[in-house]
């Protein structure tokens, strides 16, 4: 009998997803989508007490797979993913689509199972499964998303292959031990692993798949996608590479560069995708710092981040659901017709910008303080700039152009009740997790290390407000004098130009050249290949020299010859 | 559950003798049976009983260790001994199990392929051939090996010739095989003569002891070894002494082809192992050198040449026959490595290849039975007309290529690892290249079968016409075995690898 507590909780959700794939009744599916993450959360609670739990050890082909490992770090991600699963389920209640339901469940389950994987090979399996299951969410976005989905899949499968290769190299170097603990960069396997995780986490120059695929997915798809993939990768980096100095700078760059793109981008979901990147940069940087305070900051930030980022994507989804677009140039003045959504969006925007009393304030301050304590002034400056940038594009731009700005003349209904519920819950959590009296202490109780950090000191609050108001002022001034990049219908292309335009161009050129070459070379090639084929055929075919029915006499001579050779070999040596 | 306790004690005690005597006696009786159905039932029951016996012997060997049975109570070295140990027991079980499967298959097949009045003698010859093969494997007396070798060979010549009802070329093939086989047997017995001259005994264990005392012996022993290797090499279709094989495989009655392909060369290979490792010893200079240069050399050349030849054949039976020659090359390579891992891999490939090739020829026989197909061109659309048979063929073909989760993969990987461990990277390269060649020659057939359209007969698409159940069952048994070994279902993979490793330990003198 298998002990139920030995089973990775993510597998329950995957199971529910598989059932969903064959379940024609919509209500049953929706119930499953809602209950499966709840159930997984309960299972985590049952399994995890206070100590690290290791279980579900399977031996296959001489390799030990540890399919369940829950400790203080993975526990946070596990609960968080379950919570996000429930919120997403509520948000998507109105949608009647079997593919979305089942792939969302499998995707959620794979992410949870990946977080609880105790060894690199199990991680690899779920790593690939998240990619394979989530690509359907991208494809649900319509015709435009097909190519983006393929690119998304290619990037993730590549990342998975790299992860597997790295795991094998790393495991070999460690004498066949694939345990997923601290890995470090001092081995070639470690480098490959970091690269694989970095691709999935959206490191600079590998980030394009996020802005490419997420805005093109379906409305609910984007909300679901925004939670899991990058956070799974972040968890892997936090577990394997905490305290690696190079991550500090990677993270800082990652936090800064999306600001520029986000400011000029027109598609608001794409803006959010850039700000997702920016937020991940904060966390990667904090992982690089690696002190207990920084790691607490990462854990806290990831919790709040999933909630407020989900919230923002949800509000944009709601707007898109009602208006059919998420382009800044086509929106505006929606606060009249969608008042609740506006409020929720403002809460989300305030959270991401780290307004005091809203979610990210506590955790972002922790990260900044950690950088300060380690005297990392340059990264600190970059992070501060990025904070201001976040305020600029996510905190102001998104709500401003959607709900205020010039009136687009659209009069639509308020978002459906289920979306409002999901957004309301998320907003509530945003406020709770930063509430000075018992709120952020609740958050603290989840963090991996002892927390001794007080966010609501006057200097913190004032400093943060200064920063934010400076950003608001800048926005106002630029807007007033018409210097702010106005919303234009354009597709911003950054580094993905290399493969979407240049790569395609090169591929086309090679294709054309190859055609020409092959036309010219046909004659030569034909003679060569045919000549070779003929030679082989002449020797080996039934009509060929080798197959001429050997007369018994010849065979007998051969046998004698073999004997002579045998004797010669024996006597000479 | 203790299966072993279900066997009666007398069967386990006398099993080794029983497994030879029963088919030999019943063969004689079968020859004069009036009815072909009766003959079939006799053959079926005899092979089944012998299989059960072999199974008991294997279990007994596993629990009690090697047993030596003295024929007629005469103790070795003067009497004839029968040896059941880790090396011979699995081969015994393999031969008898394959015999049962071929007999089951043979019920419909012989009706189509053998003249009515020759069917009872056909089964009789089959039983005698079977007895000979079992005897070759189990006996512990060197001269007795020769006797059983001839018993099996002579009946095989007759059996191959019976294919003439289907194809007259069977007669020349059989004649060719007769000449070649006789030369091989003669070489073998000359070698034995020299060996007797050197050691003065015919008991294998005794020979080994005396040779070890003489530290390899004089020039006579060398000559003896040369003759024995070449003689056996001919029997096991070592390249370039394989010329008898394609004809014999292609034109024999299909039941006989299956049995020959999966057992006869395997028994000869078993003898090669027996002689070169347990009677002679690779630590003697000349033995080591001959194995390293001759066996590995012809093994490698055979792998490449026979694979190439397989690619260009137009007749599927000949393709498979050449592929067999190539596979023998793999086994010789494993033997020539002379390390525990190499020997285990070679031995494992011996067992696996019997299962794979048996499955392929079974399916091929079914194709002939239903549509008269032997040429590759005629395979077009076979997946539509005989889907189940084609599926079994495909599984075995993939296994032959060495696709993961099949038996062929396990043995090829083990062989490649063994070669790499010894630092023979070029051998790993050759294994890879010949596997690619195998993809070509098997893939070509599969492509036609799956992507071609079923041919039209009188303006109508050929209808689905599945092989009879008695053909499907044995062929699927083998196909599932292939997968089970490759994916370690029912621990079959572990058991096979374990058996091969035990055999390798015994060969290298580490005890059973």
The per-residue DSSP string of A4-27 comes to GGGS-HHHHHHHHHHHHHT---HH
Nearest residue to B92 (alpha-carbon basis) of B121, B59, B44: B59
Least confident residue range of A38-42, A532-536, B439-443: A532-536
HSE value, Cβ hemisphere, 13 Å, CA-based, for A108: 37
A101: pLDDT strictly greater than 50: yes
Residue A65 has pLDDT above 70, yes or no: yes
pLDDT tens, position by position, A318-330: 888 888 877 777 7
Contacts of A6 by beta carbon, 8 Å cutoff, 6+ apart: A55, A56, A68
- CB of A545 within 8 Å of a chain B CB? The answer is no
User: B337-385 pLDDT, tens per residue?
Assistant: 888 888 999 999 999 999 999 999 999 999 888 888 888 888 888 888 8
Residue A111: other Cβ atoms inside 10 A: 30
Mean pLDDT, chain A, whole residue set: 82
The pLDDT value given to residue B512: 37
Q: Evaluate if residue B464 carries a pLDDT over 70.
A: yes
Has the ipTM of the complex gone over 0.95? no
Residues in chain A closer than 8 A to B247 (CB atoms): 549
Closest partner CB to B230 (pick from A540, A555, A566) = A566
- CB A77 within 8 Å of CB A238: no
Residues 6+ apart with CB under 8 A from B227: A563, B187, B188, B190, B191, B194
H, E, C per residue of A63-99: EEEEEEEECHHHHHHHHHHHHHHHHHHHHCCCCCCHH
User: Of A24-33, A82-91, A501-510, where does mean pLDDT reach its minimum?
Assistant: A501-510
For chain B, list residues whose CB is within 8 angstroms of any CB belonging to chain A.
172, 175-176, 179-180, 183-184, 187, 219, 222-223, 225-227, 229-230, 233-234, 240-241, 243-244, 247, 285-286, 289-290, 293-294, 305, 308-309, 311-315, 318, 488
With b meaning 16 or more CB within 10 Å and e meaning fewer, what string describes B220-248? ebbbbbbbbbbbbbbbbbbbbbbbbbbbb
User: Does residue A179 contact residue A171 with C-beta atoms inside 8 Å?
Assistant: no
Residue B128 has pLDDT above 90, yes or no: yes
- Cβ A570–B227 below 8 Å, yes or no? no
To the nearest whole Å, the CA of A572 is away from the closest chain B CA by 9
Q: Token pair of B306, please?
A: 């026979």
**Between chains, do A542 and B312 touch, taking CB under 8 Å as contact?**
yes
Q: pTM for the whole thing? A: 0.59
Q: What is the pLDDT of residues B140-183, one digit of tens each?
A: 888 999 999 999 999 999 999 988 888 888 888 898 899 889 99
Q: Are B320 and B364 in contact (CB under 8 A)?
A: yes
Q: Please say whether the beta carbons of B181 and B235 come within 8 A.
A: yes
Q: What percent of chain A has pLDDT over 70?
A: 93
Dist. CA B196–CA B199, nearest whole Å: 5
Give how far A571 is from chain B: nearest CA, Å. 8
Q: Please report the pLDDT score of residue A493 as a whole number.
A: 57
Over range B13-27, report the average pLDDT.
89
Minimal C-alpha gap between A560 and chain B (Å): 9
The shortest CB-CB distance from B241 to any of A537, A539, A562 is to: A562
| Site from A60, A538, A560, A566 to mutate, B interface, most B CB atoms within 10 angstroms | A566
Is residue B394 over pLDDT 50?
yes
Q: Is the Cβ–Cβ distance between A313 and A215 less than 8 Å?
A: no
Q: Which residue of A544, A563, A569 is in closest CB contact with B312?
A: A544
* Residue from A552, A554, A564 to probe the interface with B (highest B Cβ count within 10 Å): A552
The more confidently predicted of residues B42 and A413 is: B42
Q: What percent of chain B has pLDDT over 70?
A: 99
CB contact under 8 A, B289 and A544: no
**Are A536 and B225 within 8 A, CB to CB?**
no
Q: Which residue has the higher pLDDT, B414 or A95?
A: B414
Written as six digits, the tokens of B482 are 């292939």
B100 pLDDT above the threshold of 90 = yes
Torsion of CA A445, A446, A452, A453, to 10 degrees: -110
pLDDT higher than 60, residue A473:
yes
B315 CA: distance to closest CA in chain A (Å)? 9
Its sign, for the CA torsion A132, A137, A143, A148, is negative
CB contact under 8 A, A573 and B289: yes
Token couple for B322: 């050449």
Contacts of A563 in chain B (CB under 8 A): 187, 226-227, 230
Contact criterion met (CB < 8 Å) for A573 and B285: yes
Q: CA-CA distance, A183 to A240, in Å (whole number)? A: 5
Average pLDDT over residues A406-419: 80
Between chains, do B180 and A556 touch, taking CB under 8 Å as contact? yes
Q: N- to C-terminal Cα distance for chain B?
A: 24
CA distance A55 to A69: 6
Return the exposure string of A260-272: e unless at least 16 CB atoms fall within 10 Å of the residue's CB, then b. ebbbbbbbbbbbb
The whole-angstrom distance between A126's CA and the closest CA on chain B is: 22
- Rounded Cα distance between A92 and A371, Å, is 39
Considering only the beta carbons, identify the residue of A537, A565, A571 that sits closest to B222. Answer: A571
Is a pLDDT exceeding 80 seen at residue A250? Answer: yes
Both tokens of B33, joined, read 């049976």
Confidence band, pLDDT 50/70/90 cuts, at residue A243: confident
Q: Are A540 and B312 within 8 A, CB to CB?
A: yes
CB contact under 8 A, B229 and A566: yes
- Pairs of CB atoms within 8 A across A/B: 82
A346-392 confidence digits (pLDDT tens): 888 888 888 888 878 888 888 888 888 888 788 888 888 888 888 87
* Closest chain B C-alpha to A62 CA, distance in angstroms: 11
Which residue in chain A is spatially nearest to B318 when comparing CA positions?
A542
Contact B180 A566 (CB under 8 A): no
- Which residue on chain B is closest to A558 by alpha carbon? B241
Element holding B207 (H helix, E strand): helix B204-213
Determine the pLDDT at residue A1: 42
Say if residues A325 and A331 touch (Cβ distance below 8 Å).
Answer: yes
Instruction: Please indicate whether, in this complex, the C-beta atoms of A559 and B183 are within 8 angstroms of each other.
Output: yes
Stretch A167-171: mean pLDDT: 83
In angstroms, the CA A111 to CA A14 distance is: 10
Task: Please say if the pLDDT value at position A149 is more than 80.
Answer: yes
How many CA atoms lie within 13 Å of B41's alpha carbon, on the beta-carbon side?
Answer: 6
Pick A21 or B300 by higher pLDDT. B300
**45-74 in chain A: CB under 8 A from chain B:** 61
Kindly determine whether residue B289 and residue A537, on different chains, have CB atoms separated by under 8 Å.
Answer: no
For residues A427 and A342, give the distance between their C-alpha atoms in angstroms, rounded to a whole number. 12
Q: What is the DSSP pairing of strand B81-84 with strand B460-461?
A: unpaired
């Amino acid at each position: 009998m298998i002990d139920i507590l030995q089973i990775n909780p993510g597998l329950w959700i995957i199971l529910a997803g598989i059932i969903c794939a064959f379940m024609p009744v919509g209500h049953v599916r929706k119930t499953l989508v809602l209950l499966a993450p709840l159930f997984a959360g309960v299972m985590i609670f049952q399994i995890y007490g206070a100590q690290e739990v290791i279980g579900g050890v399977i031996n296959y082909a001489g390799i030990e797979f540890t399919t369940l490992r829950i400790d203080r770090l993975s526990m946070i991600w596990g609960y968080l993913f379950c919570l996000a699963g429930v919120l997403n389920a509520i948000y998507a209640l109105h949608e009647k689509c079997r593919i979305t339901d089942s792939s969302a469940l499998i995707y959620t389950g794979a992410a949870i199972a990946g977080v609880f994987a105790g060894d690199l090979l199990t991680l690899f399996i779920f790593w690939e499964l998240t990619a394979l299951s989530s690509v359907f969410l991208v494809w649900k976005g319509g015709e435009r998303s097909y190519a983006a989905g393929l690119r998304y899949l290619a990037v993730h499968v590549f990342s998975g292959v790299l992860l597997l290769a790295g795991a094998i190299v790393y495991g070999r170097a460690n004498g066949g031990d694939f345990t997923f603990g601290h890995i470090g960069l001092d081995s070639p396997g470690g480098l490959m692993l970091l690269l694989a995780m970095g691709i999935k986490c959206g490191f600079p120059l590998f980030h394009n798949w996020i802005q490419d695929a997420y805005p093109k997915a379906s409305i609910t798809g984007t909300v679901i996608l925004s939670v899991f993939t990058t956070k799974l990768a972040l968890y892997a980096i936090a577990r394997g590479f905490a305290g690696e100095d190079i991550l500090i700078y990677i993270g800082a760059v990652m936090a800064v560069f999306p600001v520029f793109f986000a400011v000029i981008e027109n598609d608001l979901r794409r803006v959010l995708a850039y700000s997702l990147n920016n937020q991940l940069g904060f966390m990667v940087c904090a992982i690089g710092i690696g002190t207990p305070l920084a790691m607490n900051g990462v854990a806290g930030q990831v919790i709040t981040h999933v909630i407020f980022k989900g919230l923002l994507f949800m509000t944009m989804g709601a707007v898109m659901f009602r208006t059919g677009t998420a382009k800044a140039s086509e929106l505006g003045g929606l606060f009249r017709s969608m008042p609740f959504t506006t409020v929720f969006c403002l809460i989300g925007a305030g959270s991401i910008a780290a307004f005091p009393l809203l979610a990210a304030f506590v955790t972002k301050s922790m990260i900044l303080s950690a950088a300060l304590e380690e005297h990392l002034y340059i990264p600190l400056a970059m992070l501060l700039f990025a904070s201001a940038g976040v305020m600029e594009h996510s905190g102001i731009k998104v709500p401003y152009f959607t709900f205020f700005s010039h009136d687009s003349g659209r009069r639509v209904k308020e978002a459906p009740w289920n979306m409002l519920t999901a957004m309301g819950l998320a907003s509530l959590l945003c406020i709770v997790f930063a509430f000075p009296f018992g709120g952020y202490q609740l958050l603290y109780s989840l963090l991996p290390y002892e927390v001794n950090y007080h966010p609501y000191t006057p200097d913190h609050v004032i400093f943060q407000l200064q920063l934010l108001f400076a950003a608001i002022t800048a926005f106002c001034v630029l807007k007033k004098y018409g210097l702010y990049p106005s919303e234009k219908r354009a597709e911003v292309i950054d580094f993905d130009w290399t493969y979407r335009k240049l790569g395609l161009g090169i591929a086309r050129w090679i294709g054309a050249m190859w055609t020409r070459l092959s036309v010219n070379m046909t004659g030569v090639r034909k003679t060569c290949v045919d000549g070779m084929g003929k030679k082989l055929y002449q020797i080996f075919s039934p009509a060929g020299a080798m197959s001429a029915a050997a007369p018994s006499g010849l065979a007998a001579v051969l046998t004698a010859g073999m004997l002579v050779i045998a004797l010669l070999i024996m006597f000479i040596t | 559950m203790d299966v072993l306790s279900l066997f009666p004690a007398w069967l386990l005690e006398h099993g080794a003798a029983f497994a030879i005597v029963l088919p030999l006696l019943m063969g004689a009786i079968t020859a004069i049976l009036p009815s072909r159905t009766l003959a079939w039932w006799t053959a079926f029951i005899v092979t089944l009983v012998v299989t059960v016996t072999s199974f008991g012997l294997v279990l007994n060997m596993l629990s009690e260790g090697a047993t030596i049975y003295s024929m007629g109570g005469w103790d070795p070295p003067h009497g004839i001994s029968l040896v059941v140990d880790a090396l011979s027991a699995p081969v015994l079980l393999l031969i008898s199990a394959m015999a049962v499967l071929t007999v089951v298959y043979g019920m419909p097949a012989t009706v189509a392929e053998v003249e009515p009045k020759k069917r009872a003698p056909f089964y009789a010859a089959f039983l005698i051939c079977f007895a000979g093969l079992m005897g070759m494997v189990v006996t512990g007396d060197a001269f007795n090996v020769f006797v059983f070798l001839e018993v099996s060979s002579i009946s095989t010549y007759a059996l191959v010739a019976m294919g003439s009802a289907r194809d007259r070329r069977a007669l020349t093939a059989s004649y060719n095989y007769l000449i070649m086989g006789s030369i091989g047997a003669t070489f073998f017995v000359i070698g034995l003569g020299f060996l007797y001259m050197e050691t003065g005994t015919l008991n294998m264990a005794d020979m080994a002891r005396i040779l070890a005392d003489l530290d390899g012996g004089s020039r006579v022993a060398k000559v003896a070894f040369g003759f024995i290797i070449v003689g056996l090499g001919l029997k096991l279709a070592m390249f370039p002494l394989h010329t008898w094989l394609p004809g014999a495989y292609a034109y024999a009655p299909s039941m006989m082809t299956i049995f020959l392909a999966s057992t006869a060369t395997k028994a000869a290979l078993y003898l090669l192992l027996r002689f070169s490792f347990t009677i002679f010893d690779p630590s003697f200079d000349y033995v080591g050198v001959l194995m390293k240069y001759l066996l590995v050399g012809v093994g490698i050349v055979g792998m490449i040449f026979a694979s190439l030849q397989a690619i260009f054949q137009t007749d599927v039976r000949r393709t498979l026959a050449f592929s067999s020659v190539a596979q023998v090359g793999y086994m010789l390579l494993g033997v020539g490595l002379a390390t525990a891992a190499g020997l285990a891999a070679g031995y494992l490939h011996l067992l696996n290849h019997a299962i794979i090739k048996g499955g392929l020829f079974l399916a091929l026989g079914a194709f002939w039975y239903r549509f008269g197909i032997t040429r590759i061109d005629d395979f077009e659309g076979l997946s539509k007309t005989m889907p189940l048979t084609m599926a079994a063929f495909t599984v075995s073909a993939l296994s032959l290529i060495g696709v993961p989760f099949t038996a062929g993969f396990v043995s090829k990987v083990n062989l490649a690892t063994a070669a790499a461990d010894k630092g023979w990277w070029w051998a790993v390269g050759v294994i890879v290249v010949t596997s690619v060649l195998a993809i070509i020659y098997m893939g070509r057939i599969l492509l036609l079968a799956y992507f071609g359209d079923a041919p039209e007969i009188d303006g109508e698409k050929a209808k689905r016409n599945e092989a009879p159940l008695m053909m499907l069952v044995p062929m699927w048994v083998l196909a599932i075995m292939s997968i089970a070994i490759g994916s370690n279902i029912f621990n079959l993979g572990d058991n096979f690898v374990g058996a091969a490793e035990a055999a390798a330990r015994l060969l290298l003198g580490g005890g059973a």
